[in-house]
Amino acid sequence: MPVVMCKHPLMMRIMEISFTMDDLRLYLDTHPNCNEALTYFDELQEQRRAAVDAYEAQFGPLTMYGNVESGCDNWRWSDGPWPWQNY
């Protein structure tokens, strides 16, 4: 387990992309036909997928429906550190 998972560059990247998507999502809820925002959301979605895949391959599942490799005999979801643990 890395010393501080939340400081890993991959995690920082996921946080940045996701934060942008969070705001874009709220905007798109009331501006569903804005092409510029839709295109931007699409791009971010792709970037996020790549970053999450890379992160999960290294640190285990990020989401509760996340990647659990088939044939894997080690349950990693409940492994720490948890998001509030910066130690």
The yes or no reply on residue 4 touching another protein (CB under 8 A) is yes
Stretch that binds another protein, among 3-11, 38-46, 67-75 (CB under 8 A): 3-11
* 4 contacts 87 by C-beta, under 8 angstroms: yes
* 14 contacts 48 by C-beta, under 8 angstroms: yes
* 58 contacts 51 by C-beta, under 8 angstroms: no
Min dist. Cβ of residue 43 to another protein (A): 20
Q: Site for another protein (CB under 8 A): which residue of 9, 33, 35, 84?
A: 84
Q: Site for another protein (CB under 8 A): which residue of 1, 2, 3, 15?
A: 15
Stretch that binds another protein, among 33-41, 43-51, 59-67 (CB under 8 A): 59-67
**Among 42, 43, 44, 62, residue whose Cα is nearest residue 52:** 62
Min dist. Cβ of residue 73 to another protein (A): 21
* 27 contacts 38 by C-beta, under 8 angstroms: no
